């Protein structure tokens, strides 16, 4: 799991349990989203710090339903991670 429930709730500044099920669902959607956008699920441990940062922005944008507020950092991180995934795939194919 890229983010734990505790990490996500800290990022969201949520200190109640009413939305735990919703937040867990959002957390579970992140690997599929990343795979669609970057070509990698980014679930390998230890989790890349850039992936954790992006996951925090994604959780906030989905929970707040305010993608525009987080659009620039999300897109910038996706661009970097996409490049990293391509490089990793190219390196793996050469082995």
Using DSSP's 3-state secondary structure scheme, residue 72 falls into helix
Q: Using 50, 70 and 90 to split pLDDT, how confident is the model at 87?
A: confident
Q: How far apart are CA 60 and CA 57, in angstroms?
A: 5
pTM value is 0.89
Write the pLDDT tens digit of every residue in 27-80. Answer: 999 999 999 999 999 999 999 999 999 999 999 999 999 999 999 999 999 999
In angstroms, the Cα distances linking 21 to 41, 87, 95 are 22, 36, 42
Q: Centre a 10 Å sphere on the Cβ of residue 51 and count the other Cβ atoms it contains.
A: 24
């Amino acid at each position: 799991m890229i983010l734990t429930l505790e990490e996500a709730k800290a990022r969201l500044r949520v200190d109640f349990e009413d939305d735990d099920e919703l937040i867990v669902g959002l957390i579970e959607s992140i690997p599929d989203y990343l795979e669609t956008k970057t070509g990698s699920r980014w679930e390998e441990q230890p989790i890349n710090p850039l992936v954790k940062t992006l996951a925090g922005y994604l959780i906030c944008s989905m929970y707040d339903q305010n993608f525009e507020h987080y659009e620039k950092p999300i897109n910038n991180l996706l661009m970097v991670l996409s490049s990293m995934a391509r490089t990793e795939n190219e390196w793996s194919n050469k082995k």
